[in-house]
């Protein structure tokens, strides 16, 4: 069985072949059709689609199945939103829709550049911190080595006999 969702008044079993006065799509069962219709009501899509159509109306899909500018409800919902919902806007002319969509694309491109710069800065900061940690670890190892060397030297000096001290002092004088 095929159930049909209509833009204005819900879910029906069938639509007259070639009826272009309504907005529709087929579903395999009533539950799926009803769930899709209810989602369209919740996200405002159903209300937007019941507004009187104008000859030049355009829809911009910002987020959906396929973002872009669409002429007419059927393409807008089926292709642009993919019957899943998304972010969209309705315009009364192609010119207004083009202007808005180009502005949106420019803003997205700018945001992408900003995001890229932020990512590069974050990566640089992480790399700097890793270098600082490595440097501190190296300094700590060097300091530990020097401290061990000093202990060993002190132990060697302390273990010298009087004869060894005398020999060292004699070597220093020469």
Q: How confident is the model at residue 20 (pLDDT cuts 50, 70, 90)?
A: very low
Per-residue pLDDT, 125: 87
Looking at residue 7, its pLDDT comes to 47
Q: Would you say residue 37 has pLDDT above 80? A: no
Average pLDDT over residues 78-103: 84
What mean pLDDT comes out for the span 18-46? 68
Distances (CA, A) of 136 to 22, 126, 143, 149, 155: 72, 15, 10, 20, 28
- At residue 16, what are phi and psi to the nearest 5 degrees? -60, 130
Q: Enumerate the domain spans of the chain.
A: 1-51, 106-155
Residue 97 pLDDT level (bands cut at 50, 70, 90): very high
For the segment 100-132, what is each residue's pLDDT rounded down to a tens digit? 999 999 998 899 899 888 898 898 888 888 877
pLDDT for the residue numbered 153: 76
Question: DSSP string covering 69-119, please?
Answer: EEESHHHIIIIIITTS--EEEEESSHHHHHHHHHHHHHHHHHHHHHHHHHH
């Amino acid at each position: 069985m095929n159930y049909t969702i209509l833009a204005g008044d819900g879910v029906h079993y069938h639509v007259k072949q070639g009826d272009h006065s309504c907005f529709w799509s087929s579903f395999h069962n009533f539950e799926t059709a009803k769930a899709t219709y209810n989602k369209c009501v919740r996200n405002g899509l159903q209300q937007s689609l019941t507004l009187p159509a104008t000859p030049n109306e355009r829809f911009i899909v910002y987020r959906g199945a396929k973002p872009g500018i669409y002429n007419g409800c059927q393409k807008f919902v089926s292709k642009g939103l993919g019957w899943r919902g998304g972010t969209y806007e309705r315009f009364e002319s192609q010119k207004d829709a083009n202007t808005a969509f180009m502005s949106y694309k420019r803003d997205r491109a700018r945001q992408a550049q900003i995001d890229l710069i932020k990512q590069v800065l974050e990566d640089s900061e992480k790399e700097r911190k890793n270098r600082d940690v490595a440097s501190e670890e190296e300094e700590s190892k060097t300091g530990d080595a020097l401290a061990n060397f000093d202990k060993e030297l002190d132990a060697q000096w302390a273990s010298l006999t009087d004869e060894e001290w005398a020999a060292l002092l004699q070597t220093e004088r020469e």
